[in-house]
Amino acid sequence: MKYGFDNDKYITTQSEHIKERIAQFGNKLYLELGGKLFDDHHASRVLPGFQPDSKLRMLQQLSGAAEIVIVISAEDIVKNKVRADLGITYDEDVLRLRAEFQNRGFVVGSVVITHYNGQRAADDYRNRLKRIGVTSYVHHLIDGYPHNVDLIASDEGFGKNDYVETSRPLVIVTAPGPGSGKMAVCLSQLYNEHKRGITAGYAKFETFPVWNLPLKHPVNIAYEAATADLNDVNMIDPFHLEAYGKTAINYNRDIEIFPVLNALFEGIYGENPYKSPTDMGVNMVGYCICDNEVCCEASKQEIIRRYYAALNLMAEGKEVTGEVQKIALLFKQAGINSAYRATTVAAKEKAEQTGHTSSAIELEDGTIITAKSSELLGCSAALLLNSMKYLAGMEKEVKLIPQDLIEPIQHTKMNYLKGRNPRLHTDEVLVVLSALTARDERCRLALEQLPKLEGAQVHTTVMLSEVDRKIFKKLGVDVTCDPVRKK
């Protein structure tokens, strides 16, 4: 895998910068954490070398001075809102996040329930937290938030919220997902700390867009593609340009809310320590890119991946027309189209030649390998076998799994498990290969090639099963699929 990002430099540089920001505010900083802390696969795809848990590992450098506050909206509790990537409700994810943090040595001080208006479900959740020994607080709905500044920055606004007891210099405020009210919790704490004579500051830690990369840099365009459902738009920060005469990149929501934040800061402290929304951020990612070309290429692949992901959702009946159209416009900004992805062209050519659903993979050295479905194997399973054989220096014609071993498995799938597809999936192929290593050295050698697939690009002419998607994800392979359902 080619690297374009220096992960070790990032962990050191980012943690040091946050320490500097803590010191700037008298040794008390509320840090709003945007994006994913665990499993940040978008960042690792567009910045090859960025590890999915890099932000967590970076914050572990500060764990001795940090505590974590987890925020959840009462409205999300009432709606049983679900995290799409994990399939669990936000209230369950709060407990998962708490356990994850504690297992890594962090202090989790409390849970704050925002948008509280006496909802019974929120009260029940507080009781549940109390039973397991978790301290919780409530922050209320405020009429006219965030624009009614006079009310918000008063004892009838933030002053009505519970004061969240904290004891460490760095308070990391995080949540299961967007819209939970993290920023409001931070600002409420600033107001209530100020009332108690405590000086505290606020900063925002969000990876994208990268403020010190150009507006139309592929990394920033890929962020727009990733948030097409939110309709975020990258923009030049006009406040930063006016204050410093320098171009910095932010996105529409932070730029639009900055005048309100400015008024809130002035209402609390009498002045705003920040001259722009970019000033509020602490992101140092842009300084840790070590190969711009690698990151540009990876980001272009990500834009195409997001396009096919949206097309697949449309094929499943989801209303995502706006997302598809937006990403199609981003293609033009990045100077690409779907044919830019070499595996897309190769897989479609293979399907036209054979009349079967097909797949293609591009390896690190630029080699493209193709495969088609057969009576025995799905095109993804066949592709995996072909790739391992190539990397192990074997001829494509080598049969690693004898047909007489596949047929009994198919019999079980169809007759005992009432399946509809007799072809072996990727996971089944890997299990069979593993069993054969005891008697066939070639199978062992083939399996040893799997780590070399990390960072490879795959395209299939049919939508993948969930099983195949998960296997490719575990192998670190980025996959796109034509929006065609399996028959």
Q: Are residues 167 and 25 in the same domain?
A: yes
Residue 154 lies in a domain: yes
Q: Are residues 345 and 476 in the same domain?
A: yes
Q: Are residues 51 and 195 in the same domain?
A: yes
Residue 381 lies in a domain: yes
Read off the pLDDT of each residue in 8-18 and give the average, rounded to a whole number: 97
Q: Are residues 61 and 140 in the same domain?
A: yes
Q: Are residues 357 and 279 in the same domain?
A: no
Q: Are residues 134 and 270 in the same domain?
A: yes
Q: Is 296 a residue whose pLDDT tops 90? A: yes
Average pLDDT in the chain: 94
CATH label of the domain that carries residue 202: 3.10.630.10
Q: Are residues 276 and 369 in the same domain?
A: no
Q: How many domains does the chain have?
A: 2
Q: Are residues 257 and 393 in the same domain?
A: no
pLDDT at residue number 41:
86
Residue 225 lies in a domain: no
Judged on CB neighbours under 10 Å (0-12, 13-18, 19+), 3 is middle
Read off the pLDDT of each residue in 255-279 and give the average, rounded to a whole number: 92
Q: Which of the residue ranges 71-75, 85-89, 414-418, 468-472 would you say has the lowest mean pLDDT?
A: 85-89
Residue 300 lies in a domain: no
Q: Are residues 178 and 274 in the same domain?
A: yes
Label residue 300 by pLDDT band (50, 70, 90). Answer: very high
What is the domain extent for residue 441? Answer: 341-481
> In 133-181, where does DSSP find H-type helix?
149-152
Q: Are residues 146 and 54 in the same domain?
A: yes
The token pair at 246 is 């320098």
Q: Are residues 403 and 273 in the same domain?
A: no
pLDDT at residue number 178:
83
Residue 104 lies in a domain: yes
> In 163-251, where does DSSP find H-type helix?
182-195, 218-226, 238-244
Residue 314 lies in a domain: no
Rounded to whole angstroms, how far apart are CA atoms 114 and 163? Answer: 13
Rounded to whole angstroms, how far apart are CA atoms 445 and 466? Answer: 27
H helix or E strand, kind and range, residue 342: helix 342-354
Q: Are residues 138 and 29 in the same domain?
A: yes
Tokens 């994810």, located at residue: 93
Residue 106 lies in a domain: yes
H helix or E strand, kind and range, residue 302: helix 292-315
